[in-house]
Amino acid sequence: MGLQHRGILLSGIISAVIGLAAGFIGGRLAPPPTPASAPPPASAALMQAQAFKLVDQAGHERGVWGIDADGATRLALFGPKAALPLVNLAVSPRGGATLQLSDSRSTQAVVLKAEPGGFRGVSLYSGDKIRLNLEVQKNGDPAVNLYDRGSRLISLGLTNQGDPYLTFYGEGQKAALEVISRKNGDRSLDLMGKNGTPRVVLGLKNDKQAALGLFDRQGKTRVALLDEPSLILLKGGKPVKTLP
């Protein structure tokens, strides 16, 4: 074999080896292939319904979430054997909200209300009859009310001027006795007749002058006793006799 031919063959072998090494090194140093980008997640499916029911393993209804016939949104939760909901949360179409809690002995045990006009109330029941109520009226007056057999007997609260009062109620839930203490120093104890008209008033004016007034059934003053001292007898609202 001539030198020229052997030189051509050797050059071909060297070129092949160098090409193989370059390919190996290039593969080691080349950046890894970029993975294909994952497709964007599909948007969550929207489920629409007017009511949902929750059932237990036995198929018994344990909860209902839906819209009432009157348009109120309601969530009701039932016990294992309860025919009526133990928890009842409702939002009225007018914007008020009510949370009612019950037990196995009564359809309502605790009721929490918030009305759009500003009224707020919490009521406690026994045997389906209200026993205690904590409320804030639309004008902001707070009060605690005690009941017996569904009738209000006692109220403790504040007027919209911030004056504390205590009221006892009689027949027809009309005020029978009222005690009030005003910020200006006035104090009064009022005894009412059956029609709610004051019959006896014991008061302190501006934390200085004391007075006792007796009234007839129409609310007209008959006797006034002041701490001057002075006793005034009246008839038809007009003084007829004064005793020093």
Nearest 10 degrees: Cα torsion 76, 82, 83, 88: -20
pLDDT at residue 243, rounded to an integer: 61
pLDDT at residue 150, rounded to an integer: 87
pLDDT at residue 212, rounded to an integer: 87
Q: How far apart are CA 73 and CA 80, in angstroms?
A: 23
* E strands, the chain, in order: 51-55, 61-67, 73-77, 87-91, 97-101, 110-114, 120-126, 129-136, 142-148, 151-158, 164-169, 175-181, 187-192, 198-205, 209-215, 221-226, 230-235, 238-243
Same domain for 219 and 127? no
Residue at a domain's end among 119, 138, 157: 138
Residue at a domain's end among 138, 157, 180: 138
Q: What is the pTM of this model?
A: 0.70
Same domain for 106 and 149? no
Q: Are the C-beta atoms of residues 140 and 131 closer than 8 Å to each other?
A: no
Domain that holds residue 244: 141-244
Same domain for 191 and 168? yes
Q: How far apart are CA 244 and CA 232, in angstroms?
A: 9
pLDDT at residue 241, rounded to an integer: 62
Cα separation values, 21 from 9, 25, 206, Å: 19, 6, 111
Residue at a domain's end among 97, 119, 138: 138
Cα separation values, 36 from 19, 23, 33, 45, 104, Å: 30, 25, 9, 26, 61
pLDDT at residue 8, rounded to an integer: 44
Task: Say how many domains are in the chain.
Answer: 2
Q: What is the CATH number of the domain that holds 114?
A: 3.90.930.1
Each residue's pLDDT expressed in tens, for the chain with a length of 244 residues: 443 444 444 454 445 444 534 443 444 445 555 556 666 665 667 777 788 899 988 888 899 999 988 889 999 999 887 788 999 999 999 989 999 999 877 888 999 999 998 899 999 999 889 999 999 999 999 999 999 988 999 999 999 899 999 999 998 889 999 999 999 889 999 999 988 889 999 998 887 788 888 888 888 887 888 776 666 665 665 666 666 6
